Structure 1
Amino acid sequence: MGSALSYSQRLEVTLPEDPATVIAVVGNSNVLLGDLLPQVDARIAEVEEKSGQKIPAEQLGTARLSLVRGLLGKTIQTKMMRESFLLEQVGIENADKREEADATLSGRARQMFHEAELPELKKQYGTENLRELDGMLRKKGSSLLARQRDFVDQMLGHLYLRGNVNRKPEVSLSEIIAEYDAEKELYFRAERARWEQLTVLNSKFPNEQAARAAIQEMGREAVFGGSMQAVARARSQEAFASKGGVHDWTSRGSLASEPLDDQIFTLPLNKISGVIQDQFGFHIIRVLEREGAGYTPRSEVQDELRSKIRERKIEDSQRIALDRMREKIPVWTLFPDDIPGSKPLPVSLTRRNVSANR
């Protein structure tokens, strides 16, 4: 495609004024600056509106360049997948066959846009009038034509991934066992317990004696009334009072109160404790369940492990598909460092993009 820009020249790249300038070539598809500028300008307008001030002129060029660069990377990837799908459909057939396949498949995708996407857009923007809808989209940096074009590219790209990525890989028991053994330390859990708690806070009473009297009264009510949780909801002063004072599984050593922590892990189960004093106030507890330290059994995390392995296999399959795609589809771009395996745009296409400020 001709000679390319040197590294030092690429450092001086600025956005051209002509929206028709080619800023990337993906296989047989061109990406024009004008394809991205509406979204860029809409984003800048949104930022200025939210901040209530204009972006300084000396920063505006850098901001636009950065936004174009980000959008271009996403656009190139989508078009690479589209080109890969078309290539798979026609193999190494001639250009006429490719254009024929492109027209046929794009036509089907456009039909899907009108049947599925367009009704949703009308609903989202609250109008059935296409001209009005197009105007609303343009205010957001898009248009009906742009949304249709993007939908077609994404649909064909999705078909490429669907045909090359196994979304439901098998996961064997041996793989689950190996995963569990390799990451067993992640499934170690300290001694833990569940308990009910009544609390009075020193800060809520004029003195310690009054606070102690209040917790003793709550304890008697729990013992003789038969419902510690009911007393907690009505009178307790700690964070879990609204839940009946029930504390779910909590590991030893994780509480701010050392006296409570010690009692929770030494008291007999299902016995109401005496009054426990700490730096916050007074408490009465009843330990409901307690488990010793150890490893979570593999059977309890088997589904989690299976999902984790499956996701990793899908990611690996997708990475391989994208690597194959990059090998098949040549890319020339204004920002070759952003796309692995891509090349700088030829000088013949980019000389209008190079700053004259030497």
Structure 2
Amino acid sequence: MTASRRFIVICLLPVFSLGCEALRKSPNVRNPVVGPPPIRQSYVEVDPVGKAQYADASADAGEILTVSAESTELTEDSIVATVNAEPIIASDILAPYAKGFREAEAEMRVKAAKADQFSEEEINEAIAAQLQKIKKDLIRKDLDKHIERKLLTQALKNSMKPERLEAMEGAIDQVWQGELEKIQAKAGVSSRYELEPKLKEEQGMSLNELKDMFRRQQMAMAYLHTGVETVEKSIGRAEIVRYYEDHLDDYTLTRRARWQQIVILFSKAGGRDAALDQLRVVVDQLQSGTPFAEVAQKHSHGPRAERGGQWNWTEPGALSNDTWEQAIFNLPVGGVSDVIEDKSSFRLIRVSERDEGGTRSLTEVQDEIRDILAEEARKATTDEVIADLMKSASIETRIH
């Protein structure tokens, strides 16, 4: 394609996610024993079926060797990385984006057709090049987490006896059956045979691809579970108290109130005397028990009359008028102020809700703090485990 005929199509790819519950029970595994890393190797060319020829190259364990593959066409079976000699193929990463690719291609074809200046061959060539770029960008973005998941899965397998590993895989399959039932119910089908085409259409993935993704995620989580669980159990009262004292400002609430008003503007009522007559009608209705919001909707000239004159949470110092603020923060909840008159209006204020502020007690927030500390511990433990596995791993990437 000549430079003058090249075109760029910008498209947005939807990102899909499947929420699955974590494995209920994880085996009690010891620290990872990955074993000695294999000899460092690099592929001469991409081999779709994984039978690549190897070049004689080596590097120290813990380093990530990048092998350029920019000039090679990316296919679903292309090996994009190896982790301790186990491949990660493009489809492992790109499967969740399949529907997005189809939609992007359709959108690009529509735009190209509207341009009406390119041959079918040129359009196909340009779209293929654009999709290749998008796929490689997505792989670059997501590859690290797939490498980490592969490391965790390998460590789990290496740390367990075959019979325990088989039992754990069986437990994961049982959890998957439960998830499959939820997916079927959400899709409105009663069998996997009905689900398969619907899943392919709506998410661009086969049921087997979805199951494989689920199993990889669960095995990685299972390996992390024991270490994280131990750290979570070690969170005691001393840690909770220390966090509370260090973040006391986060648990200190400012005094605030929600309030309503009825405003009778002299200009809209036809002068002060006419406004006073209208005010008498308002007061009579309130005294007879008509709800404040209903009276405000009918008679108020204020900017929120349609909402019953309701204003949201207001803190001291937020209003420009001290008289209004005194009424809001001194009236009892549900109380209505005396008539407030200024040079342009009569006004009535009602306090609908008030929070007196103050500091939440440790008893109130200790469970919330425990959750925060547990999440921090989970992240720290995960980062530490992955860092340790990376040190002894042999990793090659073909996308950079």
Report the TM-score, using the length of structure 1 for normalisation: 0.69
Moved more, 117-126 or 9-18: 9-18
Q: What is the distance in 1 between the residues matched to 2:310 and 2:75?
A: 68
Q: Give the secondary-structure state (helix, strand or coil) at the position aligned to 1:199.
A: strand
Q: What is the distance in 1 between the residues matched to 2:175 and 2:297?
A: 59
Verify the 8 A CA contact 1:36 1:68 in the aligned structure 2.
yes
Q: What is the distance in 2 between the residues matched to 1:234 and 1:74?
A: 56
User: Would you say 1:155 and 2:218 are equivalent positions?
Assistant: yes
Q: How does 1:140-219 map onto structure 2 within 5 Å? A: 140-166=203-229, 169=233, 172-193=236-257, 197-200=261-264, 205-207=269-271, 209-219=273-283
Match in the other structure for 2:369: 308
Match in the other structure for 1:260: 324
Q: What is the Cα deviation at residue 24 of structure 1?
A: 1.9
Q: What is the Cα deviation at residue 36 of structure 1?
A: 3.3
CA RMSD of aligned residues (A): 4.3
User: Would you say 1:225 and 2:288 are equivalent positions?
Assistant: yes
Q: What is the distance in 2 between the residues matched to 1:194 and 1:177?
A: 33
Larger % of helix: which? Answer: 1
Give the partner amino acid of 1:316.
A
Report the TM-score, using the length of structure 2 for normalisation: 0.63
Q: Render the CA deviation track for 1:242-294: whole Å, top value 9, x for unaligned.
A: 88767675311223655523543567995631233377x431125588787xx
Give the partner amino acid of 1:79.
K
Q: What is the distance in 2 between the residues matched to 1:218 and 1:253?
A: 29
Residue 259 to residue 73, structure 1, CA distance change in 2 (3 Å) = same
Match in the other structure for 2:81: 24
Verify the 8 A CA contact 2:151 2:386 in the aligned structure 1.
yes
Give the partner amino acid of 2:378.
S
Match in the other structure for 1:276: 341
Verify the 8 A CA contact 2:256 2:313 in the aligned structure 1.
yes
Q: Give the secondary-structure state (helix, strand or coil) at the position aligned to 2:139.
A: helix
Q: Give the secondary-structure state (helix, strand or coil) at the position aligned to 2:159.
A: helix
Q: Render the CA deviation track for 1:300-330: whole Å, top value 9, x for unaligned.
A: x643354134322332234223422331355
Q: What is the distance in 2 between the residues matched to 1:289 and 1:126?
A: 44
Q: Give the secondary-structure state (helix, strand or coil) at the position aligned to 1:307.
A: helix
Q: What is the distance in 2 between the residues matched to 1:311 and 1:13?
A: 43
Equivalent pairs counted in the alignment come to 324
Q: Render the CA deviation track for 1:208-256: whole Å, top value 9, x for unaligned.
A: 553443234313443x436663764663535776887676753112236
Q: What is the Cα deviation at residue 143 of structure 1?
A: 0.8
Verify the 8 A CA contact 2:261 2:296 in the aligned structure 1.
no
Residue 104 to residue 241, structure 1, CA distance change in 2 (3 Å) = same
Moved more, 6-15 or 193-202: 6-15
Q: What is the distance in 2 between the residues matched to 1:33 and 1:290?
A: 57
Q: How does 1:30-41 map onto structure 2 within 5 Å? A: 30-41=87-98
Q: What is the distance in 1 between the residues matched to 2:255 and 2:191?
A: 64
Q: What is the distance in 2 between the residues matched to 1:156 and 1:164?
A: 14
Match in the other structure for 1:327: 388
Select which of 120, 130, 144 maps to 2:182. Answer: 120
Percent identity, please.
21
Match in the other structure for 1:135: 197
Q: What is the distance in 1 between the residues matched to 2:160 and 2:196?
A: 33
Any unmatched runs of 5+ in structure 2? 1-39, 42-56, 113-122
Q: What is the distance in 1 between the residues matched to 2:151 and 2:325?
A: 59
Q: Render the CA deviation track for 1:191-221: whole Å, top value 9, x for unaligned.
A: 5446553333567545555344323431344
Give the partner amino acid of 2:144.
G
Residue 249 to residue 138, structure 1, CA distance change in 2 (3 Å) = closer
Match in the other structure for 2:34: none
User: Would you say 1:63 and 2:134 are equivalent positions?
Assistant: yes
Verify the 8 A CA contact 1:260 1:276 in the aligned structure 2.
no
Verify the 8 A CA contact 2:64 2:396 in the aligned structure 1.
no
Give the partner amino acid of 1:307.
E
Give the partner amino acid of 1:63.
I
Q: What is the distance in 2 between the residues matched to 1:229 and 1:129?
A: 56
Residue 128 to residue 273, structure 1, CA distance change in 2 (3 Å) = closer
